[in-house]
Amino acid sequence: MKDFDGLKAVVTGGASGIGLAAARLLAERGARVAVLDLDADGVPEPLRGHRADVSDDASVTAAVSDAAGALRGIDVLVNNAGIGAVGTVEDNDDAEWHRVLDVNLLGIVRTTRAALRHLRRSAHPAIVNTCSVAATAGLPQRALYSATKGAVLSLTLAMAADHVREGIRVNCVNPGTADTPWIGRLLDRAADPAAERAALDARQPMGRLVTADEVAAAIAYLASPAAASVTGTALAVDGGMQGLRLRAPEPGR
Ligand SMILES: NC(=O)c1ccc[n+]([C@@H]2O[C@H](COP(=O)([O-])OP(=O)(O)OC[C@H]3O[C@@H](n4cnc5c(N)ncnc54)[C@H](O)[C@@H]3O)[C@@H](O)[C@H]2O)c1
């Protein structure tokens, strides 16, 4: 018997990186899993791919309805789709602020709104949002991105309060910098990718990036019936980036 046997999960942004790792892990642990993504064609079996743009309400409503029909219900919703933004508060215009908020924040609103009627029929309903260490630590050159993730953290808490009495748990994971295609694209654009990678590694107390599988394991925990008393929690998977304050290494050590 696996812990997700009989459960059905929807993962947004599940065609790549953290979302793909989470979708695969939930499937390995017994869930039937549908992935909603802009590009869902190459999603590996046994995952089901559904094309959806979380910034478009009609697209989300149709894909959630299709996924719920194919899976015969939804017990777990992983709101993971997200995009990046670089710069200080001066660097992005209003259109870019609206675009990134539309995906990272309103994408969660739309998908959750469409999935709630299915979650209400589940015996083990759970929502897990992919937030970020950027919600809790001030990172340079991430004003817009951090603002979206700060909003995701607050939304997670508010949703957890709204739905606790109907038995729906809502939590989020806060990854540190994770080794996914997203970071690969960021490094490709850097003037010196090796130096940028070394700087990202060094920013994490563990001295290395987080893996997508490590974040997926936290998502699966929060989504699982084993976490039945866990709601309104932000679980950091960040190599110690948020919680630790280290002294500089002593010379020769
Ligand atoms: N990689 C990191 O360092 C890191 C750190 C903290 C948090 N996160 C968060 O983790 C989540 C996943 O990031 P990742 O690193 O796996 O990125 P990724 O780029 O590898 O995967 C993101 C997926 O989301 C999909 N997507 C993007 N916009 C979409 C839209 N409008 N509608 C539907 N799907 C869409 C993409 O097609 C892609 O498959 C994001 O929410 C991100 O903010 C990432």
Strand partners of residue 32: 8
Please name the fold of domain 8-178+211-236: Rossmann fold (3.40.50)
3-state secondary structure of 49: strand
CA of 27 to the centre of ligand 1 (A): 19
The single-letter code of the amino acid at 50 is: H
pLDDT in tens, 230-239: 999 999 999 9
CA of 13 to the centre of ligand 1 (A): 6
Q: Contact at 8 Å (CB) between 4 and 24?
A: no
pTM exceeds 0.95, yes or no: yes
> Given a cut of 70, is residue 253 above it in pLDDT?
no
Alpha-carbon distance of 93 to 91, in angstroms, equals 7
Please spell the DSSP secondary structure of 84-111, one letter per residue: ---B-TTTS-HHHHHHHHHHHTHHHHHH
Higher pLDDT, 251 or 232: 232
The active-site residue, picked from 145, 179, 209, 215, is 145
pLDDT in tens, 188-204: 999 999 999 999 999 99
Domain residue limits, the chain: 8-178+211-236
For residue 146 and ligand 1, the question of a CB distance below 6 A is answered with no
Query: Residue 100 contacts by C-beta under 8 Å, 6 or more apart in sequence?
Result: 83, 84, 85, 92, 144, 145, 148
pLDDT in tens, 47-71: 999 999 999 999 999 999 999 999 9
For residue 69 and ligand 1, the question of a CB distance below 6 A is answered with no
Alpha-carbon distance of 42 to 170, in angstroms, equals 29
